[in-house]
Amino acid sequence: MNFQSIKENLLSELRAHSYVARVVSIRRSRDLEMGIQICRENGLFDSEFYKERLTHFDFNPPVEMLGAQSIIVLAIPSPQTGVVFHWNGGSRTLILPPTYVGNEALPPKMEAVVNEILNPLGYHAIKTFNLPIKPLAVRSGLAEYGKNNITYVEGMGSFHLLFAFYSDLPCEQDDWRKMKVLERCSNCRACVIKCPTGAIGEDRFLLHAERCLSFFNEKPADVPFPAWIDPSWHNSIYGCMTCQRYCPEDKNFGSG
């Protein structure tokens, strides 16, 4: 069975699980690394944000997969989750955004699913946590960016989780593309208008991540919020759901 047949079999089997995936060459890890370097050299990253969020990436396969030839990027549906807190005889439901659900239990499960398909064909995969997965998903053709810099997958909207795997599955060719933005975003300003912190600017496409509410409420509990953040802006246990709640692209995927 040639590479194309194996790839199509893998993607078909994953679709049977309601997952969607793409396969790209291992050399694309260097393209991802270069993309971050170019943005940094052009002064597009706030220094604090860059130091905290963009310096942990490792663009080399682990020793267990030194012979990696491809990267598999996978998306699975993931709704927001309501968490009920009981206090002083009352209860209140708070939202946990989709990207925070199953972060510990799902990675090994996804790795097992991929290997159940690949192993009988003589190949295997290892989950990676150290690649910039959003640009990987977009450039592989799996997803498109929204103006809010969140990824959108067809049939899932932004309510999905992304996973990446190194694999020894050969990748003779791929469909690596330029960054792509949803067509709807060209005539929509919903997220720009509703973002409470002004993180989604109109001066550039790249999010002003140093102003994003998620950047602050994901910090350790002993790190105080800046004085300019209004407490009424908080809407989730972690992160922020405002841009997704008002996004027309997400109107069919917000609950579940």
State mean pLDDT over 22-42: 96
Which pLDDT does position 1 carry in this prediction? 66
Task: Give CB contacts under 8 A, 24+ apart, made by 199-204.
Answer: 200/147, 200/148, 200/149, 200/243, 204/44
Percent of all residues in the chain with a pLDDT value above 70, rounded to a whole number? 98
Q: What is the mean pLDDT of residues 119-125?
A: 94
The predicted pLDDT at position 164 comes to: 96
pLDDT tens digits, 182-202: 999 999 999 999 999 999 988
User: Average pLDDT in the 106-110 region?
Assistant: 90
For residue 51, give Cα distances in angstroms to 57, 59, 77, 177, 228.
11, 17, 30, 28, 22
Mean pLDDT over 121-129 rounds to 92
pLDDT in tens, 217-249: 999 999 999 999 999 999 998 899 999 999 999
* Cα 163 to Cα 108: distance, rounded to the nearest angstrom: 10
| Closest C-alpha among 190, 198, 197, 203 to residue 244 | 190
pLDDT band at 256 (very low <50, low <70, confident <90, very high): very low
Mean of the per-residue pLDDT values of the chain: 92
Q: How far apart are the first and last CA of the chain?
A: 39
User: Minimal CA–CA distance to 189: which of 176, 200, 173?
Assistant: 200
> Quick one: pLDDT band at residue 2, thresholds 50, 70, 90?
confident
C-alpha to C-alpha distance for 237 and 82, rounded to whole angstroms: 10
Of residues 170, 163, 151, 228, the one with CA closest to residue 7: 170
Rounded to whole angstroms, the Cα distance separating 3 from 255 reads: 38
> Which residue type is seen at 117?
I
**Domains of the chain, residue spans:** 3-171+183-250
